[in-house]
Chain A
């Protein structure tokens, strides 16, 4: 067990290093940082001095080591655009994206798993066919179209829900949360739905496929033959056995949701990391882009580590004996 975690952590370090290298390459190869920072009137000598001061003439490896060292110490540098510390900019944006992602994930799980189970148990029913068809339409439409349609219906036509921003937020320590006000929730619903629809469909179809597979297995047949109550049979026996693949995909997708919430955030003007990233691209704000890359990679690694640990919690066969 300890060995397993250690191995995964070691792998994670390599992934993070690789991403840090990519982020670093952005600085080195996407444009010249000195010309980004200086104006036209800066003399060539001044430029050269700046280059020397910033260590841009040092060997490549040394620069990368310095960059990684700074990252580890939490020194993420300054934004070209706003001259603010990047760390500060990102940290203020993280809560918005995380809350949006988590709520979207919860919607997809709480709707996707039950409908997945239902459609697996009644594979030929009318309701099942309707659900499958609707969700197929759901995934075929791009996220931003769904967002715009939702805005049009609930924001413009019915006027029930706000169409942009986070609504009322509450400061909890350094965490700006919209989960504690009615206004905040009202603002959250539409973007979370938009972001969650694809996840929901995927979860539902995966649960359905896995569940249908498991329902054919010998242990389910045996449990049926012993007269285990149907409710227990479906949820305790069958659903639990579908969870390992479902968690794998949901975990990967959650990383994706955080990373690609960009579209949803821009449709709803949601002040999260995605929106920040878009703005940074527009202004070629390389430090922010680089750090964004590193932060997102960190989320991916973290989620996958949690997924790996969940496997062990779910499946006793993976718990290799530590002793003896």
Chain B
């Protein structure tokens, strides 16, 4: 149905044209789900944009053929191309929070799209829109259709997005990371829906994603891309089950398995070779006074936020983010904290760091009570002992400071090293310890990739000589191979320095690789708490079982490694 042959897309720049994708060929049959995998910058989205004719300016198609049925997509004039969009090719975007116009009702957006492509009355269009929403799994569609996008939950919103892509009966839908922003449970529903639509309506899908689990679960065939070129293509079972190219093999190795715990990931290009000598940074970290491993006990912690005031006379109901949560992080262990968005994971981290005052309960760090909220002074020792690594390495480093300044800050802030040159030397050594070249010290954050920035963030946390590290989704913004490197790094550091880590993630497979113990959080309540291997093998709570069941995994027989 859709054939792409030798597609090359270029972006003109001052230094000549930059080739974004080169010589890409694809073929998609009706009812086929074709996965497009690769890491960020591989050119996956550019392929989708070229097919639907929405390349970002000034990009252009330099070479290749794009044919949808008998139509030559490259021969269309702008008007024809626009009329074809939606009519024959539709698109689904990553984030349902931002891909719907917030100011228009779902009804208006649906009717408008149907009427743009068909000469049909408003009433008839509405009937069709309602039927479609019902089919896609929105109950009471006749009522819900009058709502605005913000009145739907994330998963429902993605359904609305799919309905919008579907309402004109297109032949091909390009889904660009359609489930990346969704929780596992919702993700599995949306994936099921896509599979059903492909099977019943014979719609061809191009599924662009970096999540190999998703591809393994629903796609028929797959194309692996790297740096704008196709690495490997074919049936999913063949490409992912028995990869031929070394890149694909490496990619598969980096995917954390859900069903077993690896000691380390195999990373092909591991740069950090330990020559046996103990570096200065390592020594410095080891000679800190707080040598003993430190644990954290949380007892009946409760956090409430004031509700939104809507009435003059009634007090708003407070929103309870955490309902009397109790657990213990053993000294020198890694505790995995798992839960869907809105379960209170980040609130818990904020309560521990003192950013959010809890309304009840107690916290103890290594036996000493931990003052909460503002009661914890600026100079309280826990400010140094507890450090944090954040999710988004792009916004957690000040873009106007040099790496050297960023890394020296904890050293003078906590009064650890008085001498300026010594601080700098130590920062450079620490960069080496986290696997980065020491010349990074004079650069700015924007000169580094996401994975490198996350290493810098880890280095910054370590320079405070912490005993307790909170990692809030430290790898969810990173590609799998980078994720594997960062997880390896965290494991190494934890073993070497006896750190205690609270590892927050929504990704169960990642948590399995990291955690000794595990807490499953849902709606601010603990569903299950125990040793992680026990939890993964014999989950007790039905919620944990459901989460494990819904996480996309690769079929067992592919795990040749």
Q: Which residues of chain A have a CB within 8 Å of any CB of chain B?
A: 1-3, 6, 217-219, 221-230, 232, 236-237, 240-241, 314-317, 320-322
**Whose C-beta in chain A lies nearest to the C-beta of B78?**
A230
**In whole angstroms, what is the CA distance A223 to B82 when docked?**
11
**In whole angstroms, what is the CA distance A322 to B308 when docked?**
11
Taking a contact as CB atoms under 8 Å apart, the answer to whether B103 and A241 are in contact is yes
Taking a contact as CB atoms under 8 Å apart, the answer to whether A229 and B116 are in contact is yes
**In whole angstroms, what is the CA distance A321 to B86 when docked?**
34
CB of B91 within 8 Å of the partner chain:
yes
**In whole angstroms, what is the CA distance A2 to B311 when docked?**
7
The 4 residue pairs across chains A and B that have the minimum distance between CB atoms: A227-B86, A226-B86, A225-B91, A227-B85
**Whose C-beta in chain B lies nearest to the C-beta of A321?**
B310
Contact with A along B471-498 (1 / 0, CB 8 A): 0000000000000000000000000000
Query: Within the complex, what minimum Cβ distance (angstroms) separates B493 from chain A?
Result: 37
Taking a contact as CB atoms under 8 Å apart, the answer to whether A226 and B102 are in contact is no
- By a CB distance below 8 angstroms, the chain A residues around B150 are 316-317
Given contacts A218-B93, A221-B93, A222-B93, contact A228 B112 (CB under 8 A): yes
Taking a contact as CB atoms under 8 Å apart, the answer to whether B164 and A222 are in contact is yes
- By a CB distance below 8 angstroms, the chain A residues around B312 are 2-3, 6
CB of B54 within 8 Å of the partner chain:
yes
Given contacts A227-B113, A316-B102, contact A222 B161 (CB under 8 A): yes
Q: How many residues of B contact A (CB 8 A)?
A: 36
Report which residue of A217, A219, A236, A322 has the largest number of chain B beta carbons within 10 angstroms of its beta carbon: A219
**In whole angstroms, what is the CA distance A3 to B101 when docked?**
27
- By a CB distance below 8 angstroms, the chain B residues around A221 are 54, 93, 99
Residues 151-204 of B contacting A (Cβ, < 8 Å): 161, 164-165, 168
Taking a contact as CB atoms under 8 Å apart, the answer to whether B86 and A218 are in contact is no
**In whole angstroms, what is the CA distance A258 to B165 when docked?**
49
Taking a contact as CB atoms under 8 Å apart, the answer to whether A226 and B116 are in contact is yes
Known: A218-B94, A222-B99. 4 other contacts (CB 8 A): A219-B102, A221-B99, A222-B91, A228-B113
Taking a contact as CB atoms under 8 Å apart, the answer to whether B102 and A225 are in contact is no
CB of B98 within 8 Å of the partner chain:
yes
Query: Within the complex, what minimum Cβ distance (angstroms) separates A318 from chain B?
Result: 10
**In whole angstroms, what is the CA distance A232 to B312 when docked?**
40
**Whose C-beta in chain A lies nearest to the C-beta of B95?**
A218
**Whose C-beta in chain B lies nearest to the C-beta of A1?**
B310
- By a CB distance below 8 angstroms, the chain B residues around A241 are 101-103
**In whole angstroms, what is the CA distance A221 to B54 when docked?**
8
Taking a contact as CB atoms under 8 Å apart, the answer to whether A230 and B161 are in contact is no
Taking a contact as CB atoms under 8 Å apart, the answer to whether B102 and A3 are in contact is no
Taking a contact as CB atoms under 8 Å apart, the answer to whether B310 and A315 are in contact is no
- Partner among B86, B99, B102, B310 whose Cβ is within 8 Å of the Cβ of A320: B310
- Partner among B54, B85, B98, B117 whose Cβ is within 8 Å of the Cβ of A218: B98
- By a CB distance below 8 angstroms, the chain B residues around A322 are 310-311
- By a CB distance below 8 angstroms, the chain A residues around B84 are 227
**In whole angstroms, what is the CA distance A219 to B103 when docked?**
11
26 contacting pairs across A/B (C-beta < 8 A): A1-B310, A219-B101, A222-B91, A222-B100, A222-B164, A224-B82, A225-B86, A226-B113, A226-B116, A226-B164, A226-B165, A226-B168, A227-B82, A227-B113, A228-B113, A230-B82, A240-B101, A240-B104, A241-B101, A241-B102, A314-B103, A315-B102, A316-B148, A316-B150, A317-B148, A320-B310
Taking a contact as CB atoms under 8 Å apart, the answer to whether A236 and B104 are in contact is yes
- By a CB distance below 8 angstroms, the chain B residues around A314 are 103
**Whose C-beta in chain A lies nearest to the C-beta of B89?**
A225
Query: Within the complex, what minimum Cβ distance (angstroms) separates A1 from chain B?
Result: 8
Residues 25-71 of B contacting A (Cβ, < 8 Å): 52, 54
- By a CB distance below 8 angstroms, the chain B residues around A320 are 308, 310
- By a CB distance below 8 angstroms, the chain B residues around A316 are 102-103, 148, 150
CB of B446 within 8 Å of the partner chain:
no
CB of B309 within 8 Å of the partner chain:
yes
**In whole angstroms, what is the CA distance A316 to B87 when docked?**
29
**Whose C-beta in chain A lies nearest to the C-beta of B313?**
A3
- By a CB distance below 8 angstroms, the chain B residues around A226 are 85-86, 90-91, 113, 116, 164-165, 168
Query: Within the complex, what minimum Cβ distance (angstroms) separates A124 from chain B?
Result: 10
Contact with A along B113-129 (1 / 0, CB 8 A): 10011000000000000
Contact with A along B309-341 (1 / 0, CB 8 A): 111100000000000000000000000000000
Query: Within the complex, what minimum Cβ distance (angstroms) separates A241 from chain B?
Result: 6
Taking a contact as CB atoms under 8 Å apart, the answer to whether A225 and B85 are in contact is yes
CB of B541 within 8 Å of the partner chain:
no
CB of B83 within 8 Å of the partner chain:
yes
**In whole angstroms, what is the CA distance A172 to B272 when docked?**
86
Given contacts A226-B86, A237-B104, contact A232 B112 (CB under 8 A): yes
- Partner among A3, A217, A224, A229 whose Cβ is within 8 Å of the Cβ of B98: A217
**Whose C-beta in chain A lies nearest to the C-beta of B164?**
A226
Q: Which residues of chain B have a CB within 8 Å of any CB of chain A?
A: 52, 54, 82-87, 90-91, 93-95, 98-104, 109, 112-113, 116-117, 148, 150, 161, 164-165, 168, 308-312
- By a CB distance below 8 angstroms, the chain B residues around A217 are 98
Query: Within the complex, what minimum Cβ distance (angstroms) separates B540 from chain A?
Result: 36
**In whole angstroms, what is the CA distance A320 to B150 when docked?**
12
Taking a contact as CB atoms under 8 Å apart, the answer to whether B116 and A228 are in contact is yes
- Partner among B54, B98, B112, B309 whose Cβ is within 8 Å of the Cβ of A225: B54
- By a CB distance below 8 angstroms, the chain A residues around B168 are 226-227
- By a CB distance below 8 angstroms, the chain B residues around A1 are 310
Query: Within the complex, what minimum Cβ distance (angstroms) separates A224 from chain B?
Result: 6
- By a CB distance below 8 angstroms, the chain A residues around B91 are 222, 225-226
- By a CB distance below 8 angstroms, the chain A residues around B98 are 217-219
- Partner among B52, B94, B103 whose Cβ is within 8 Å of the Cβ of A240: B103
**In whole angstroms, what is the CA distance A223 to B95 when docked?**
14
- By a CB distance below 8 angstroms, the chain A residues around B85 are 224-227
**In whole angstroms, what is the CA distance A223 to B102 when docked?**
12
- By a CB distance below 8 angstroms, the chain A residues around B102 are 219, 241, 315-317
Query: Within the complex, what minimum Cβ distance (angstroms) separates B449 from chain A?
Result: 23
Query: Within the complex, what minimum Cβ distance (angstroms) separates B300 from chain A?
Result: 31
- By a CB distance below 8 angstroms, the chain A residues around B90 are 225-226
**In whole angstroms, what is the CA distance A224 to B87 when docked?**
12
Report which residue of B54, B95, B102, B103 has the largest number of chain A beta carbons within 10 angstroms of its beta carbon: B103
Taking a contact as CB atoms under 8 Å apart, the answer to whether B100 and A219 are in contact is yes
Report which residue of A3, A217, A232 has the largest number of chain B beta carbons within 10 angstroms of its beta carbon: A3
**Whose C-beta in chain B lies nearest to the C-beta of A240?**
B103
- By a CB distance below 8 angstroms, the chain A residues around B311 are 2-3, 322
Query: Within the complex, what minimum Cβ distance (angstroms) separates A126 from chain B?
Result: 17
- By a CB distance below 8 angstroms, the chain A residues around B165 are 225-226
**In whole angstroms, what is the CA distance A225 to B100 when docked?**
12
- By a CB distance below 8 angstroms, the chain B residues around A2 are 311-312
Query: Within the complex, what minimum Cβ distance (angstroms) separates A263 from chain B?
Result: 38
- By a CB distance below 8 angstroms, the chain A residues around B308 are 320
Taking a contact as CB atoms under 8 Å apart, the answer to whether A3 and B116 are in contact is no
Given contacts A218-B95, A226-B86, A226-B168, contact A237 B52 (CB under 8 A): no
- By a CB distance below 8 angstroms, the chain A residues around B148 are 316-317
Taking a contact as CB atoms under 8 Å apart, the answer to whether A227 and B101 are in contact is no
Report which residue of A229, A230, A232, A322 has the largest number of chain B beta carbons within 10 angstroms of its beta carbon: A229
**In whole angstroms, what is the CA distance A230 to B312 when docked?**
44
**In whole angstroms, what is the CA distance A207 to B100 when docked?**
21
- Partner among A3, A227, A229, A240 whose Cβ is within 8 Å of the Cβ of B310: A3
- Partner among A227, A230, A232 whose Cβ is within 8 Å of the Cβ of B117: A227
**In whole angstroms, what is the CA distance A1 to B84 when docked?**
43
**In whole angstroms, what is the CA distance A241 to B83 when docked?**
24
